Amino acid sequence: MKVFVDATKCSGYGACAELAPNLFELDEWGYAAVIGDGVPSDEAAARRAAAACPELAITIEE
């Protein structure tokens, strides 16, 4: 599994970093980026984060 954030869709809601802090980091404006190579250690948390993003900015490649 690999996780991606579409920076053109992210509006800085921050739910991703709250639900999967090991996988997402927020920049100084609150926009998200994937930490490291985007391969989650906790796949369930990654799915919860993707589902929680109001902008559907997070995609998961199986």
As a whole number of angstroms, the distance between CA 51 and CA 37 comes to: 20
Site string for ligand F3S, 2-21 (x = CB under 6 A): ---x----xxxxxxx-----
Applying CB under 6 A, among 8, 34, 53, 62 the residue interacting with ligand F3S is 53
**At residue 61, what is the residue type?**
E
What is each CA distance from 48 to 28, 29, 41, 60, in whole angstroms? Answer: 23, 23, 13, 11
Q: Residue 9 or residue 41: which is nearer to ligand F3S going by CB? A: 9
**Minimum distance from residue 39 beta carbon to ligand F3S (Å):** 17
